[in-house]
Structure formats: C-alpha cells, structure tokens
Amino acid sequence: MALIDYADAAPEVRAVFDDIKATRGVADVNNFWKALAVHPPTLKRTWESLKQVMAPGALDPLTKEMLYLAASAAAGCAYCTASHTAAARAKGMTDAMHGELLAVLGMAAETNRLAEALRVPIDQGL
Amino acid sequence: MALIDYADAAPEVRAVFDDIKATRGVADVNNFWKALAVHPPTLKRTWESLKQVMAPGALDPLTKEMLYLAASAAAGCAYCTASHTAAARAKGMTDAMHGELLAVLGMAAETNRLAEALRVPIDQGL
Amino acid sequence: MALIDYADAAPEVRAVFDDIKATRGVADVNNFWKALAVHPPTLKRTWESLKQVMAPGALDPLTKEMLYLAASAAAGCAYCTASHTAAARAKGMTDAMHGELLAVLGMAAETNRLAEALRVPIDQGL
Amino acid sequence: MALIDYADAAPEVRAVFDDIKATRGVADVNNFWKALAVHPPTLKRTWESLKQVMAPGALDPLTKEMLYLAASAAAGCAYCTASHTAAARAKGMTDAMHGELLAVLGMAAETNRLAEALRVPIDQGL
Amino acid sequence: MALIDYADAAPEVRAVFDDIKATRGVADVNNFWKALAVHPPTLKRTWESLKQVMAPGALDPLTKEMLYLAASAAAGCAYCTASHTAAARAKGMTDAMHGELLAVLGMAAETNRLAEALRVPIDQGL
Amino acid sequence: MALIDYADAAPEVRAVFDDIKATRGVADVNNFWKALAVHPPTLKRTWESLKQVMAPGALDPLTKEMLYLAASAAAGCAYCTASHTAAARAKGMTDAMHGELLAVLGMAAETNRLAEALRVPIDQGL
C-alpha cells in the first residue's frame, strides 16, 4: 500500500497532517495517517473524530489510551496494538501497568469464550 | 445450558462459590459461575486466575474493570459486556465515563479496520 | 427471517432436504437448512460441501464434530455452538470430554490474545 | 517486543522455563514464553493453567492439540496457528488429518457466517 | 439498556433525531440512535459521520448499503445485520441479490480462514 | 507453509490449476491455490464453489468482488484483503470507489461495536 508523505501531499491532506503534528507536538505523522491520505475525506473525518474522542474528559488521557489498546488488542489489529502500546507508554504506562493490562486482556478473552460457548443467560436485573 | 445452583452443587463447586461470595461480598454468584460449574476443574482454575488478575496492583480496580469491559465489548461477547458494564458501574464508572469508553471503543473499531484494510506497516522504532 | 418448511418447499429444496434426512437418519432438517432454503443454489452447494467434509476419513466423525464445535465457539456463533454441541453429544462426547474441550477453548483464547498483544515472532524453523 | 532468554531471566522466570523444558522434554522454550516473561506473574499463571488443561484426560493429547489449533486458527492468530500446527504434527497429526482439519475449519467459518447472517433461531430442544 | 425516545430527549438529542428523520424521510429513528443518545456527543458525531459516508458518491446507495451489510455480517453483529438487511431491501436489494450476497459472504469466510490457517504469503506485486 | 507449483503438482491438482487459469485468463494461479494444494479434495471443492459463487448473476462481478473485499477486510484477513483489493481494481474499482468502500468499512466497524456494546434490541418489524 502507498504511504503519502507530507512533501507529496495535496493541500487538504497537508492541512490535516499539520493539525495532527500541532495537536500532538510531533515532527511527523504515523504511517496510519499517511496510508489514510489516499482518501482525503476519510482522513479528515477520522482525524477530527479521533481528536474529539481522545480529548481529556471524564476519563484521563492515559486511561483512554489503555482502553484503546485493550480494544485494539482484543480485535487482533497488529499495527494498532503496536502504535497504541507506544502511545500508552508515552503517556505514562509502566511495565507493571502493561503487564496487568495484558493479564486482564487474556482473562477477558478466556472468559468471553467460555461465556459464549456455554451460552450463559444474562443475569436478572442487568 | 444448565445452571448449577448452590443447593445442587457438589462440595468442590460450593467451595469455589463460597470463595467468590466472600471475596466479592455478594449473596449469590453470577450465572457465569453457575454455568462453568459443569466442569469443576475449569470453574476452580478460572476463578483463581480471575481473582489474582483483578486484585489491586499497578492498576486500580475500576481501571481494570473498564479494560475488561473494553476487551469484552471489542470481542462482541454480549453476556460479558452486560456483566462487566454492571461491575464497572458498581466500582464507580459514571454515565460520562461510560459514554467516553464507548466512544473510544467505537473509534478503535473504526481505525483497527482501516489500518488492516490499508495494510499499514508498523512505524519505524516500534 | 423466514424458515422454509418441507411442505412449502420447491422441488429443488425438497431434494436437498430429503438427502439431509436420509444421510443423517433424522425426521426433519435443522433450522439452518430451512433458513438457507431462501437461496436454493447456496443450500445445495453448502450441503454437498458439508456432506463431503464431514464424511469419515483420516479423522473420525466425533473428532471432526468436536473440531467443528471448537471452531464455531471460537468464532462466537451462538446457533452453531448450540447445534454442534448437540451433534457432538449425539456422536459420543461425554460431559468430561465437553468440559476439557471448553478448557482448551478458553486457554486458546487467552494465549491467542497474549501472543497477538505481545506481537510474538514465529519461532525459527516453523 | 522484547524476548527474554534464559540467560537474562530472573530466578522466578527461570523456574517456569525449567518446568516447561522438563514437562515437554525440550531444550528451549518457545518465543511465546520468552515474550510473556515481561510479566512474571502472567507467565507463571498461564503456564500452570496450560499444563493443567493440556494434561491427558478424557481427551487424548493429539485431540486436545488439534482442538487448540482449530480454535487458534478460527481466531486468526498467526503465531498460535504456526506453533500449534507444529505441536500437533509432533503429536502425530498426518498430512491427511491436517487437510481434513482445514476442511472442517473452512466449512465451519462458512456456515457460522451464514447462520449469523440469516439469524437462524436455535432449534427446539437444544 | 435504556432507549431514549424523542419525547424524553434533551434538545441536543432531538436536533440529531430531527436531522435523521428529515434526511431519511422516516417517522421515527431506529433503536440504535435511541440507545446512542445516552452519550449525546457520540450520537452527534456518529450520525454526522454516517451521513457523510453514506451519501451518494463514486458508489451508489444500494452498493454502499450492501457493503455495510457484508461488513456487519462478517463481524457477526446481529442488530446491524438485521437493520442493514432491511435498509438494503428498502433500497432495492432483491431476494436473488441477497442470496448472492450471502453466498459471497460464506465463501469469503471460508477462504479467509483457510488463507490464515495456511499462512499464505501475499502474492508478488501486490 | 509449502506452496505447490504447477511443475511439482499431482495430476488432480494440475487439473484444478488449469481450470483456474482458463476461467480467469491468467498465466499462473495465486499463492492461495498453491497452498491449498496440500489437500487436493479441499482445493477442488473450494475452487468449484468459488467459481459458482463468483459467476455473474443478479449481482455484477465488480459488486461481488467488492463485497468479498468488504467481508475479508472486516474479518481481518491480510492475505485476502490484499488479493481481493487487487482483484477489485482489475474489475474496475477506482481510487474513489476504494476510498468510499474503506469509509463504509470503517463506519460499519464503529457502529457494529457500539450496537453490541449498548446491546441494542432489534427494531420491531425486522
């Protein structure tokens, strides 16, 4: 797949790349954005949604990033697992926190599968 | 599927149910455990693993529970989503926190899929 | 979704239903086939493929049925998990065998997730 | 991701590695365990669970290994598919058995998807 | 889970519901939107994204709707499969088209699984 | 995994390869078929099913190919995503069509996940 670098990007793509770099304080954007630039409307919409969703709110940025990592790893996305592991570490996830996140992820996978294989009925009152 | 209630359970199953009730301070165990009681060794091993994994550590109990919920919802397990939503609420997850968790979950699903469909190469250095 | 019963089925559908009943020695076909009858070419092709795949070969029928159950449960298909659990029991799967199959299924889910979350490189020589 | 070799491992990690090597009669552990060693409690718990689950019981070791492979392949885990294919071959899975396992796996995927897309209701009595 | 009806909705939720009804020419919104109304920012963002994505473009509305259905069914979402099957029918999907879509979906599931289980390397030049 | 080339293939495998090449007008078969040749009955059955499913019908070949791509990408199969992207392009999928397909795929993933996490009940009348 093609990755579109800043130097080769159309103005509408550069505008999104500039906003990503300014918002995150980084020198270049990740490959994800360079790949998504093949369809500028999807690039712009996805970035604007992500920026809104990941802004601080009732949950702090590290918790949001770890939730993003847990969801991405549970969905088996290798690229996403790599990039959100790095992002969570940059926001303060320690080795011990990462280890516990992995342990939760593994237990969830096991009990998810058992609950489905046993067709457990949802508890009264939920 | 059969659910095994305390009254009908063998001693080795009752021992696990007793430990779940004591550890969690609840009057009865969830349907998941009643279903898993069809295979006592799996019941015992799963509970002991879960108890160890969910104990407070580098991550607090609410964060662990929300990670469990995110992983379960990302895996599409309806029973697990229902029970871990309830558990997270019991540990302090507010409506606003739940809404943000859902937003992260949805964005992760979208970007996971796009990253895979575009076969984005993992960034240098990760 | 509509289920098409034998009495209401077109001749090409009845011919498939007749073959299923004769091959399996059952009085009626499962709901899966009644639902699939909305598209007769898919009904016919799927049944003929399934009959070929599930015939005795290097693996015995019970092992094939348990593999079908494991794959269906790992994929989270509730209908398939229910029907292949019943089929495996009819072919001789005991409670103990079912319990061990569930245990393997749960461990596989846990280690699958951990291997992906850790991006473990495939071992040399495999 | 880091892989922790025996020479660099802490005593609690070495103890698990030693038990894996002794139980399996192998000279070194797979990359999975070297990766999991980043979090010793998860390494220890996962190995002890796996050892218990894969011990001979109502199902023989080869059947358990093929179920593990079917579940891993159905979940799309590349590392796990590679390592459990090798393990199943080491326990006696022939080319013909592997071919039939693949055929079951493919049919299960197809019928799982059709059953879900048609929202087939679970048959009476199951 | 709570469904929020128009009569009970806050002004910001009503504004989104009004836009959905006007855009689609329907008397009421689907349950999906009533459920999503628990988090108004996610409701608004999701609707605006969906409206943009599903607008006519290089692909016609029926093709987009069938692609949405194929992706939802492949992901095993029962609610989404039901609602997008209905939406595709409303846009002109006939029984024959639906049957062929199901056949493609089933074959894709089967070959996806086989390609992964065999770890097929991507062809040169792709 | 082994790939079986035409020169090394048994007559029953060559017959399938010849039919693929003639049907598609290509000089060689994709790696998928070379890998599947390890089990000739599965190779033959899979090809014959695929040929029947992908033949022109109520849906045109490009629409079928894009549905195949959407289902494969939603299931996260990297090989299948690569090969069906190429096949769809060969049948006329433009950059704009591909971009819109990706956008639909991403939105479907997001709304699938939200619908499941909120356990939305299926709308009356569907």
Tell me the pLDDT tens digit for each residue of B13-32: 999 999 999 999 999 999 99
Say whether pLDDT at E118 is over 80.
Answer: yes
Please name which of C66, C68, C62, C76 lies closest in space to residue C101, comparing C-alpha atoms: C66
Cβ partners under 8 Å of residue B106, min gap 6? A53, E42, E46, F110, F111, F113, F114, F117
Is the ipTM above a cut-off of 0.90?
yes
Query: What is the pLDDT at residue E126?
Result: 80
Q: What is the share, in percent, of chain B residues with pLDDT greater than 90?
A: 96
The single-letter DSSP state of residue D7 is G
HEC readout, chain F? CCCCCHHHCCHHHHHHHHHHHHHHCCCCCCHHHHHHCCCHHHHHHHHHHHHHHHCCCCCCHHHHHHHHHHHHHHCCCHHHHHHHHHHHHHCCCCHHHHHHHHHHHHHHHHHHHHHHHCCCCCCCCC
Q: Do E98 and C46 touch (CB under 8 A)?
A: no
Task: Read off the pLDDT of each residue in F29-57 and give the average, rounded to a whole number.
Answer: 97
Please name which of C123, B24, F99 lies closest in space to residue D27, comparing C-alpha atoms: C123
Q: Do B39 and C106 touch (CB under 8 A)?
A: no
Work out the pLDDT band at B125, boundaries 50, 70, 90.
Answer: confident
Which positions in chain F touch B108 (Cβ < 8 Å)? 113
Work out the pLDDT band at C1, boundaries 50, 70, 90.
Answer: low
Query: What is the pLDDT at residue B118?
Result: 96
Query: What is the pLDDT at residue A125?
Result: 81
The neighbours of chain B, by the rule of 3 or more Cβ pairs under 8 Å, are A, C, D, E, F
What does each C-alpha distance from A73 to B71, B108, B109, E28, E49 come to in angstroms?
Answer: 8, 10, 11, 37, 25
Does residue B109 contact residue F113 with C-beta atoms inside 8 Å? Answer: yes
- CA–CA distance, C52 with F106 (Å, rounded to integer): 37
Please name which of B95, B37, C39 lies closest in space to residue F58, comparing C-alpha atoms: C39
Query: What is the pLDDT at residue E1?
Result: 61
Tell whether E99 lies on the interface with C, counting CB pairs under 8 A: yes
The span from the first CA to the last CA of chain C, in angstroms, equals: 45
The backbone torsions φ and ψ at residue D96, rounded to the nearest 5 degrees and listed phi first, read -65, -40
Cβ partners under 8 Å of residue A109, min gap 6? A74, B71, B75, C109, C110, C112, C113
Does residue D66 contact residue C67 with C-beta atoms inside 8 Å? Answer: yes
Q: Do F113 and B105 touch (CB under 8 A)?
A: yes
DSSP per-residue codes, chain E: -----GGG--HHHHHHHHHHHHHHT-SS--HHHHHHTTSHHHHHHHHHHHHHHHSSSSS-HHHHHHHHHHHHHHTT-HHHHHHHHHHHHHTT--HHHHHHHHHHHHHHHHHHHHHHHTTPPPPTT-
Candidates D82, D108, D117; nearest CB to E73 = D117
Q: What does the pLDDT look like over E55-76, one tens digit per residue?
A: 999 999 999 999 999 999 999 9
Candidates C38, C45, C76; nearest CB to E76 = C76
Work out the pLDDT band at F83, boundaries 50, 70, 90.
Answer: very high
The single-letter DSSP state of residue C6 is G
Query: What is the pLDDT at residue A1?
Result: 61
Give the C window 22-61 contacts with B, CB below 8 Å: none
Task: Read off the pLDDT of each residue in D3-22 and give the average, rounded to a whole number.
Answer: 97
Which positions in chain B touch C99 (Cβ < 8 Å)? 38-39, 41-42
Work out the pLDDT band at D72, boundaries 50, 70, 90.
Answer: very high
| Closest residue on chain E to C76 (Cα) | E76
Cβ partners under 8 Å of residue B47, min gap 6? B16, B19, B20, B33
CA distance E26 to chain B (A): 26
Q: Do D102 and F42 touch (CB under 8 A)?
A: yes
Query: What is the pLDDT at residue C43?
Result: 98
Query: What is the pLDDT at residue F31?
Result: 98
Task: Read off the pLDDT of each residue in D57-69 and give the average, rounded to a whole number.
Answer: 98
What does each C-alpha distance from A123 to B32, B84, E13, F104 come to in angstroms?
Answer: 9, 11, 30, 35
Q: Do A42 and F106 touch (CB under 8 A)?
A: yes
Tell whether C102 lies on the interface with B, counting CB pairs under 8 A: yes
CA distance C120 to chain E (A): 15
Cβ partners under 8 Å of residue E51, min gap 6? E19, E23
Interface test with F, best of B72, B116, B118, B119 (most F CBs within 10 A): B116
Work out the pLDDT band at F94, boundaries 50, 70, 90.
Answer: very high
Where does residue C95 rank: exposed (0-12), middle (13-18), buried (19+ CB within 10 A)? Answer: exposed
**CA E68 to the chain's CA centroid:** 5
Q: Do C49 and F52 touch (CB under 8 A)?
A: no
Q: What does the pLDDT look like over C55-73, one tens digit per residue?
A: 999 999 999 999 999 999 9
Task: Read off the pLDDT of each residue in F85-113 and give the average, rounded to a whole number.
Answer: 98
Q: What does the pLDDT look like over B27-42, one tens digit per residue?
A: 999 999 999 999 999 9
Q: Do F53 and E1 touch (CB under 8 A)?
A: no
Where does residue F120 rank: exposed (0-12), middle (13-18), buried (19+ CB within 10 A)? Answer: buried
CA distance A56 to chain E (A): 14
Which positions in chain C touch F49 (Cβ < 8 Å)? 45, 49
Interface test with F, best of D94, D102, D107, D114 (most F CBs within 10 A): D102
Interface test with D, best of B49, B51, B59, B112 (most D CBs within 10 A): B49
Interface test with D, best of E110, E114, E122 (most D CBs within 10 A): E110
Query: What is the pLDDT at residue E125?
Result: 82
Which positions in chain E touch C76 (Cβ < 8 Å)? 76
Say whether pLDDT at D78 is over 70.
Answer: yes
Say whether pLDDT at D126 is over 90.
Answer: no
Query: What is the pLDDT at residue A126?
Result: 80
What does each C-alpha distance from C57 to B38, C65, D100, D101 come to in angstroms?
Answer: 32, 13, 8, 11
> Given the structure tokens 């892989």, which residue do they identify?
D3
Task: Read off the pLDDT of each residue in C15-22 and give the average, rounded to a whole number.
Answer: 98
| Closest residue on chain E to C42 (Cα) | E103
Interface test with D, best of E112, E116, E122 (most D CBs within 10 A): E116
| Closest residue on chain A to D78 (Cα) | A76
Q: Which residues of chain A have pLDDT under 50?
A: none
> Given the structure tokens 């407070």, which residue do they identify?
B56
Query: What is the pLDDT at residue C125?
Result: 81
Give the torsion sign (CA, E87, E90, E91, E94).
Answer: positive
The backbone torsions φ and ψ at residue D33, rounded to the nearest 5 degrees and listed phi first, read -70, -35
**Which structure tokens are listed for A83?**
């990039």
Task: Read off the pLDDT of each residue in D3-32 and give the average, rounded to a whole number.
Answer: 97
Work out the pLDDT band at B1, boundaries 50, 70, 90.
Answer: low
Query: What is the pLDDT at residue E4?
Result: 97
Which positions in chain D touch C94 (Cβ < 8 Å)? 58
Tell whether A74 lies on the interface with D, counting CB pairs under 8 A: no
The neighbours of chain F, by the rule of 3 or more Cβ pairs under 8 Å, are A, B, C, D, E
Candidates F36, F53, F101; nearest CB to E67 = F101
Say whether pLDDT at F1 is over 80.
Answer: no
Work out the pLDDT band at F126, boundaries 50, 70, 90.
Answer: confident
Q: How many residues are given for chain A? A: 126
Q: Do E41 and B99 touch (CB under 8 A)?
A: yes
pLDDT: is F83 or F1 the higher one?
F83
Q: What is the share, in percent, of chain C residues with pLDDT greater than 90?
A: 96
Q: What does the pLDDT look like over C60-110, one tens digit per residue?
A: 999 999 999 999 999 999 999 999 999 999 999 999 999 999 999 999 999
- In this prediction the pTM is 0.96
